[in-house]
Amino acid sequence: MIINVVGLKLKGATCRKNKLQLSTTISTELPVTLLRWIRTDADKVVAGKVTLPVYLNATRSHLLFTLDFDTEGEGSGKDHSFYERGVAIISSDLG
């Protein structure tokens, strides 16, 4: 299943050529985003990818789902750098 989503905001990173890079920018609006659901083994760790949370709103109190991203540049291959900076996707600015 593939879904087009608009209005998502990426906090703490930028996305260029479908790869995440750490950034000093607080928030980046994502253009039309294509989400594709793929059934995988939950225990399987994917090398070279970082798993980010997608929250309902800026309070980060309601987790909707997680997404796997390829990384590039500073922090590439070091998923802990993305987690330490609290990189996440927010679907709404409303609290």
pLDDT at 31: 87
Note the CATH architecture for domain 2-39+51-90: Roll (3.10)
User: How many C-beta atoms surround the C-beta of residue 37 within 10 A?
Assistant: 10
Predicted local confidence at residue 80, as pLDDT: 83
The SS3 call for residue 74 is: coil
pLDDT value of residue 49: 83
Token readout for 35 is 């989400």
pTM of the model: 0.81
Residue 46's pLDDT is 62
Task: Please give the pLDDT value at position 47.
Answer: 65
Decide the pairing of beta strands 9-16 and 19-29: antiparallel
Alpha helices in 1-95 (DSSP H): 79-84
Domain extents in the chain: 2-39+51-90
Based on its alpha-carbon atoms, the radius of gyration of the chain, rounded to whole angstroms, reads 13
Q: Which amino acid is at 42?
A: A
Q: What is the mean pLDDT of each run of 10 residues along the chain (95 residues)?
A: 90 90 91 83 69 93 91 65 92 77
Q: What's the CA gap between 41 and 16, in Å, rounded?
A: 28
